[in-house]
Structure 1
Amino acid sequence: MTQKFLKLSKQPFIRNVFIMATGTATAQLIAVALSPIITRLYGPEAYGIMGVFISIIAIITPVAALTYPIAIVLPKSDSEAKGLIRLSLYITSLIAILVTFILLLFNNNLIELFQINEVAQFLYLIPLVVMFSGYLQVLQQWLIRTKQFSITAKVSFLHALIFHGSMVGVGIFYPVATVLVVMTTLSNGIKAFMLFIFTRISNYKQFSMTNKKGEKVSLKKIAEKYNDFPKYRAPEVLINAASQSLPILLLTIFFGPASAGFYSIGRTVLGAPSQLIGLSVGDVFYPKINQAANEGKELTSLIRKATLILGLIGIIPFGSVIMFGPWLFSFVFGQNWLMAGEYARWIAIWSFFVFMNIPSIRTLPVLSAQAFHLKFTSILLITRIIALAIGYFIFRSDIVAIALFGVSGAILNMWLIYKTLHISKAYDNLQV
């Protein structure tokens, strides 16, 4: 048994997942250890305001570079990957400038349109968030491409220590929403800077956007070659981010910032398993499935196996919240957060299948199925709007709204896994 375990641990995929999960685990331990202090310092209202700000930037930041960074893993040559890096950074800068002009011209109109008075004073921080997010995406994908998972693990730990530690340190003297929002703004920038420093001093061949002598790469040709990312993936990411942020924005409008705070803390806690294991598996699985496709290997069994493993792992954490959510939240975060536990019960149903579908999501670019992903996300957004509308206008209940939101999300994510396996089977048959 011991020999079998040692043999398994030497496999590159398992070893890399372990490295990623270890870094994420230590980061999560810091977050979990400090969250009870942070929630008691700031309270639901401040958390709600931070949640609204996060819901706004979450819509914009994923498309900071029109999702071109996701393609960095795919090219066979480093020169083409570096061309994607340059293209991504140029696009990020242009989008940040564009967002700045939009805010200067239409700031008041946007505040009135979306009823976001609580975060009006923070909107001019958004261009900074866009810049930091674009840089972070580029560095993360380069490290995935070059399989430098240990750097990502180290930075995850250090970033969590700085980010959550600062919230506690400043919150002891100044426990207001402004602190949470400013720290959220700087978060990606701090992480990107740390990744860059560690990448520069790594043993891997020097990180540089310049190519070998005489090797020229046309950014126009690269943009055209990977145009399915801005054409399909960027709209999908934008719509998905909107559907993720929708509950916070609508809960704020319908029931006030406290309800948004309950949802935010519930979603954060239930996102921990995905951050700890799901994303670690996804980051390692992405280059592995891409390599398998390049070598003409069968993909369906890889996707199915990874999905089932995540399903087995997820039963305990998500099942525990479904059964004991209110008690757990009131015990860990304080009696004021009892309602967050009720929210979390329903969020956990949806989050479980989101956790399971990570291999499917990472495989869709490899299968050139990003058009399907866009359609799926559009259906998901429409379904969520309907679910929340029914909860508010018919039942006048935030709990019913969240319940419908969670159950509909679970059903649709099960369908996504099924469709991805179906597309993968068709792809495998063509390779035979």
Structure 2
Amino acid sequence: MSSLNKIISKYFNNKFLKNVAYLVGGTAGAQLLMICFAPFVTRIFGPKAYGVLGEFIAISNLMIPVAALTYPIAIVLPKKDEDALNIVKLSVFVSMMFSIIVFIVLSLKYENINLFIGISQSLRDYIIFIPIAVFFGGIQQIYEQWNIRNKHFKITAHANIIQTVIVNLITIIVGVSKPFAYVLVIGATVKGLLYGVIVTVLSEKINKQEGGIKNLLLFDAKKIKSIGREYYDFPVYRAPQVFINALSQSIPVLMLASMYGHTYAGYYAIGRAVLGLPTQLVGKSVADVFYPRFVEARHNANNISKLLKKTIVWLTLVAVIPYGSIIIGGPWIFKMVFGDEWYIAGQYAQWLSFMSFFTFISRPSIIAIPVLNMQKTLLLFEVYSIVLRVLGFFIGYYWFKTDISAVIGFSLAGGIIYMQLMWIVFTKSLKYNFVV
């Protein structure tokens, strides 16, 4: 019994495992709450409203990841806190300027931009919300990376849960009397702002002790410019890569909305949202905790291949049950949980599970990329990736002339791509010696 107690004590006192538990628990709580709210939200709004929301998110998500030119990802990397805080300041400034430019472009070139990026007539009434969502989304990324660097995982966990409850409760309450797409769009727009407010309130004591985010008011232009040059590979290589990846993810929603209407875009949007739950539930949380460990390994000139391999194997075992369940009974599950209108979304989800499975288990590989200095490699890979995904989508569409065949082609291409990416990153990681 004493041996068992020692083992239990060892694991519960392990700081790393506690960090994983905080993030997984917080994200799990938020996602489980979303699952609880989803049957009410989907029955109130229906596939068409979700299609408009899906198109709005697809367009916003093209810009949110690059709003700060991916500088927030670098917040974890510097050894000195002063350098990290300067990256935070740079990220806030870049996000603000980027959002202003998006607002000006959408205002001055309204019709041309609509045609260029495929904004449908139904979404044009909400176009003003796009730059707002982009700015708030960029700020949320900064908060997340700052908390990861400082290991404030408990704050992140609480913020995720509170944000989810507030947004969904307001959406349902307002939606009962006004079941229109704009309610969903406004909710998606203010999520980032709400997250920032919650984290600021929860971090007040820590900020007083450490200085924290409040030091943003102390702006040294020379230092900001210097740190921007030092981490130039993020805007030069990582930002284009992230944009291309976001574009490849958004293409199906935009194309389905254009070819078949918002109802089919809504089917795809809810299918992808459900399949993304395991990634948000476990994959992102584990990756957020492992990222600082990979950084520490680089600082100590150690190898990360063992840790990378173990994490991928563990995530593979975790992924079998949720994705296997959708493959077997997707349409029935969606019909039972979300309502009769969502049966086709379940069919989409069956096929999208292939790509989502490999997306889920590739999370550790993706977060190891900046640590392994593979930004340029990843950019080239993303160019290849988007070509293959778009090709898969259009081959499915033109060959079989159905919406489901286009989704199948896109999913198969995506799954193959993530398998290749994991192999490339793991091969690169073998050049270092990390002791687990």
Counterparts of 1:134-173 in structure 2, within 5 Å, are 134-173=138-177
State the distance in 2 between where 1:118 and 1:390 align.
28
Which residue does 1:366 correspond to in 2?
371
Partners of 1:82 and 1:209 within 8 A in 2: no
State the distance in 2 between where 1:3 and 1:351 align.
38
State the distance in 2 between where 1:242 and 1:136 align.
20
Counterparts of 1:129-278 in structure 2, within 5 Å, are 129-202=133-206, 205-208=210-213, 210=215, 218-278=223-283
State the distance in 2 between where 1:414 and 1:336 align.
34
Q: More displaced, 43-52 or 373-382?
A: 373-382
Q: State the one-letter code of the partner of 2:343.
A: L
Which residue does 1:17 correspond to in 2?
20
Work out whether 1:389 is the aligned partner of 2:394: yes
- TM-score, reference length from structure 2: 0.95
- TM-score, reference length from structure 1: 0.96
Give CA deviations for 1:332-354 in whole Å, capped at 9, x if unaligned: 11111111011001111111111
Partners of 1:384 and 1:405 within 8 A in 2: yes
Counterparts of 1:266-415 in structure 2, within 5 Å, are 266-415=271-420
State the distance in 2 between where 1:216 and 1:261 align.
45
1:12 is displaced (CA, Å) by 1.9
Counterparts of 1:31-180 in structure 2, within 5 Å, are 31-113=34-116, 114-180=118-184
1:309 is displaced (CA, Å) by 0.5
Q: More displaced, 353-362 or 99-108?
A: 99-108
1:55 is displaced (CA, Å) by 0.4
Partners of 2:136 and 2:192 within 8 A in 1: yes
State the distance in 2 between where 1:239 and 1:395 align.
27
1:116 is displaced (CA, Å) by 1.7
Count of paired positions: 428
Give CA deviations for 1:108-158 in whole Å, capped at 9, x if unaligned: 112233252120011111221122122111111110000000000001110
Long gaps (5+) in structure 2: none
Give CA deviations for 1:186-224 in whole Å, capped at 9, x if unaligned: 11111111112212233762314549x9x9961121111
SS of alignment partner, residue 218 of structure 1: helix
Partners of 1:80 and 1:222 within 8 A in 2: yes
Which residue does 2:425 correspond to in 1?
420
Q: State the one-letter code of the partner of 1:247.
A: P
Long gaps (5+) in structure 1: none
Q: State the one-letter code of the partner of 1:365.
A: P
1:2 is displaced (CA, Å) by 4.9
Q: State the one-letter code of the partner of 1:161.
A: V
Partners of 2:301 and 2:432 within 8 A in 1: no
Q: Equivalent of 1:8, from 6, 11, 21?
A: 11
